Amino acid sequence: MAAASGPVANHLVWAIIATVFSLCLCCGIPGLITGIVAIVFAAKVNGLLAAGDFAGAQRASNTAKIWCIVTTVLAAIGVLMVIYNLTLGGGVAEYQSVIEQIKAQSGQ
């Protein structure tokens, strides 16, 4: 069979970056799970194209894109939570309090 009739995006880079950010910024496990699902489907795209299964590659690409969007949304929620905690949530004040306690314990 001839090569595919057009490029099919695999979204692998997006899946990896979104997974890392959501793991670091979000609740951890939800972002990791959705990110792994996105990576798995993204990794299938090139193999399906090489096998000549253009329709399967397109389905895998679309599924990977959906899971990338979900993972990116989770990462964005994580960013908003971090911003809230550092500004309105008193996160900086808590951090400064901990640093002062450490200094007091070490005798500085």
Instruction: Answer whether residue 72 shows pLDDT above 90.
Output: yes
- Total domains, the chain: 1
Residue 2 domain-assigned (yes or no): no
Residue 50 domain-assigned (yes or no): yes
- Phi first, then psi: give them for residue 41, nearest 5 degrees: -70, -35
pTM over 0.95: no
Residue 91 domain-assigned (yes or no): no
Model confidence at 4, in pLDDT bands (50, 70, 90)? very low
- Phi first, then psi: give them for residue 90, nearest 5 degrees: 80, 20
Residue 56 domain-assigned (yes or no): yes
> Closest Cα to residue 19, out of 100, 99, 74, 97?
74
Residue 46 domain-assigned (yes or no): yes
CB atoms within 10 A of CB 7: 8
Instruction: Answer whether residue 26 shows pLDDT above 80.
Output: no
More confident site: 95 or 29: 29
Residue 64 domain-assigned (yes or no): yes
Average pLDDT of span 77-86: 83
The answer to whether 64 touches 41, Cβ cutoff 8 Å, is yes
DSSP 8-state secondary structure symbol assigned to residue 7: -
Instruction: Answer whether residue 6 shows pLDDT above 80.
Output: no
Predicted local distance difference test score (pLDDT) of residue 81: 83
